[in-house]
């Protein structure tokens, strides 16, 4: 960066970062520049727009760009506010607000060290779906705040360190909490998805009734939606094909010890008791029907051989407590064996997050299901002939089978900066399958895990805990056929 003290112009290379600019501006003597008139205008703009903040767009195709000095002073004059999202925020189980980039549909996310960096003079927006604590009466005081009645949005301007300016007074971010947890929404978009027929699946499982749903928070107005995930879901079958969300290097510093919520219907499924479908009593009963009354003792036990609500976008995949809450609904789960859920699948999720953090990557994740688990049923007791039957956990009001148990769970990750580079990681959802059955019926694309150095952890030493393998995204998408079509073009391996 070069500063012309006479003209007050800044020439900044695209590689300059906040630290470099802060050091330069701290050494700058303002008497070299006539700042009075512009400073008054800047102060006026702050008063008429409490969420005003400066932004700098540096064209990457230009070696240098001239910036008006005063245009960047509001951000870079002095050190930024740095807050540890685990230590300097309200307790994770208090009703935290949303932490937003003002006027946008974006969360203000921490950096790779888990620190929320807000440039000095910049503004962060806090939003509650109801109101802030003790804002139900005019100017009640709480934690030193004088909160106007029914306040749902506040904008705090960074002064220094952990101190912010609000309504002319100094405060800390941790002082601002909501009266209740900010509510997420699941909204049907009516965009079709997952319609292509999939080899190896029944006609029922390739229904064209799948639609996209978006999950997130509405702030201030309907068109301002803070999305946490997007889901391809078949409401007729109660089947989730995939969930799309993002992972950043900050994920290892996500807010911990957030209490798990009860799974929600999110305003859907009025005539169905989905919670009952997942109960062990129902699981045993559904299998007993397939076995013509025989007790399925060999399939279940009370320790880990039973089906649970398997998260697709995991709670630990999200930074803020509010975002983590938005994972607890029935659109974001599928029937998964507990021994696999706590075994190889948990191992896969953990190692993906570690890889993203170590590699300083921002990735797009597609986590979903494929196929229907089939159980071997003796169709003729004399000949001992075996018939394979699809395993569903429920029936709808017309006696149609719903909520299929998937054969496979998968997670695809794509490098956001190189979208033709990615990898598909796949897990077998059947603790009863032997290695021969796995290789013949569950491996649906060429396994490349031995070719990818960061997948050295992927070992299949205990089949009951799950069998994992990896494929090129393009090959896996071609086999699955219910993923977005552009994934067929992801041919480079993320390694």
Task: Give the domains, in start order, of the chain with CATH numbers.
Answer: 2-76 (no CATH), 81-175 (no CATH), 245-493 (3.40.570)
Of 356, 346, 345, give the one whose Cα is nearest residue 319. 356
Indicate the range of 72-86, 157-171, 253-267, 435-449 predicted with least confidence: 72-86
Report the pLDDT value the prediction gives residue 195, as an integer from 0 to 100: 74
Q: Highest-confidence range of 70-79, 378-387, 438-447, by mean pLDDT? A: 438-447
Q: CA 58 to CA 68: how far, in whole Å?
A: 13
* β-sheet with 9-12: strand ranges across: 2-4, 9-12, 65-68
β-pair type (363-370, 239-247): antiparallel
CA distances (Å), origin 117, targets 18, 34, 77, 113, 490: 10, 29, 14, 10, 34
Catalytic site residue from 171, 245, 253, 311: 311
- Does residue 3 register a pLDDT over 50? no
- The average confidence (pLDDT) of the chain is 83
β-pair type (163-166, 2-4): unpaired
Report the pLDDT value the prediction gives residue 141, as an integer from 0 to 100: 52
Choice between 320 and 209, residue whose per-residue pLDDT is larger: 320
Tell me the residue ranges of DSSP E strands in 363-436. Answer: 363-370, 374-380, 385-390, 392-395, 401-404, 408-415, 421-428
pTM to 2 decimal places: 0.82
Indicate the range of 193-207, 349-363, 458-472 predicted with least confidence: 193-207
Report the pLDDT value the prediction gives residue 26, as an integer from 0 to 100: 44
Report the pLDDT value the prediction gives residue 219, as an integer from 0 to 100: 92
Q: How confident is the model over 139-165, as a mean pLDDT?
A: 78
45-97 pLDDT, tens digit per residue, is 333 334 433 444 434 343 333 334 434 444 445 799 999 999 999 999 999 99
- Does residue 438 register a pLDDT over 50? yes
- Does residue 116 register a pLDDT over 70? yes
325-381 pLDDT, tens digit per residue, is 999 999 999 999 999 999 999 999 999 999 999 999 999 999 999 999 998 887 666
CB 277: neighbour CB atoms within 10 A?
21
Q: Is 341 annotated as a binding residue?
A: yes
**Catalytic-residue membership of 311:** yes
């Amino acid at each position: 960066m070069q500063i012309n003290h006479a003209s007050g112009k800044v020439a900044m290379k695209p590689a300059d970062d906040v630290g470099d600019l802060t050091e330069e501006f701290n050494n700058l003597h303002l008497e070299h520049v006539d700042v009075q008139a512009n400073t008054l205008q800047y102060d006026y703009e702050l008063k008429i727009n409490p969420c005003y903040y400066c932004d700098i767009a540096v064209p990457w195709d230009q070696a240098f760009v001239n910036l008006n000095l005063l245009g960047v002073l509001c951000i870079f004059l002095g050190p930024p506010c740095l807050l540890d999202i685990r230590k300097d925020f309200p307790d994770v189980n208090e009703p935290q607000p949303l932490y937003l980039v003002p006027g946008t549909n974006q969360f203000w996310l921490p950096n790779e060290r888990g620190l929320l960096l807000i440039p000095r003079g910049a503004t962060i927006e806090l939003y509650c779906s109801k109101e802030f604590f003790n804002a139900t009466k005019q100017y009640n005081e709480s934690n030193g705040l004088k909160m106007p009645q029914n306040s749902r949005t506040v904008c705090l301007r960074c002064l220094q360190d952990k101190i912010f300016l609000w309504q002319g007074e100094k405060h800390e971010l941790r002082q601002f909490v909501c009266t209740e947890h900010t509510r997420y929404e699941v909204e049907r978009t009516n965009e079709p998805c997952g319609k292509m027929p999939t080899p190896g699946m029944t006609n029922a499982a390739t229904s064209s009734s799948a639609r996209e749903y978006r999950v997130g928070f509405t702030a201030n107005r309907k068109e301002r939606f803070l999305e946490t995930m997007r889901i391809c879901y078949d409401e007729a079958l109660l089947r989730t094909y995939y969930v799309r969300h993002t992972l950043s290097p900050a994920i290892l510093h996500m807010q911990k010890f957030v209490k798990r919520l009860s799974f929600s219907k999110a305003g859907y499924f009025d005539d169905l008791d989905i919670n009952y479908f997942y109960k062990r009593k129902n699981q045993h009963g559904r299998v007993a029907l397939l076995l013509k009354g025989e007790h399925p003792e060999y399939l279940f036990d009370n320790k880990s051989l039973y089906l649970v609500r398997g998260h697709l976008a995991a709670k630990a995949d999200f930074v803020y407590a509010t975002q983590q809450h938005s994972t607890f609904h029935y659109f974001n789960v599928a029937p998964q064996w507990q021994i696999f859920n706590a075994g190889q699948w948990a191992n896969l999720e953990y190692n993906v997050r570690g890889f993203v953090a170590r590699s300083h990557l921002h990735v797009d994740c597609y986590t979903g299901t494929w196929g229907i688990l089939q159980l071997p049923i003796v169709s003729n007791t004399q000949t001992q002939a075996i018939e394979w039957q699809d395993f569903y956990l429920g029936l709808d009001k017309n006696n149609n089978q719903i909520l299929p148990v998937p054969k496979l769970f998968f997670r695809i990750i794509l490098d956001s900066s190189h979208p033709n580079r990615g990898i598909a990681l796949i897990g077998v959802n059947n603790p009863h399958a032997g290695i021969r059955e796995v290789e013949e019926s569950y491996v649906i694309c060429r396994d490349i895990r031995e070719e990818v150095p960061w997948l050295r952890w992927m070992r299949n030493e205990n089949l009951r805990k799950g069998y994992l393998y990896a494929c090129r995204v393009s090959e896996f998408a071609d086999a699955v056929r219910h993923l977005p079509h552009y994934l067929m073009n992801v041919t480079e391996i993320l390694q």
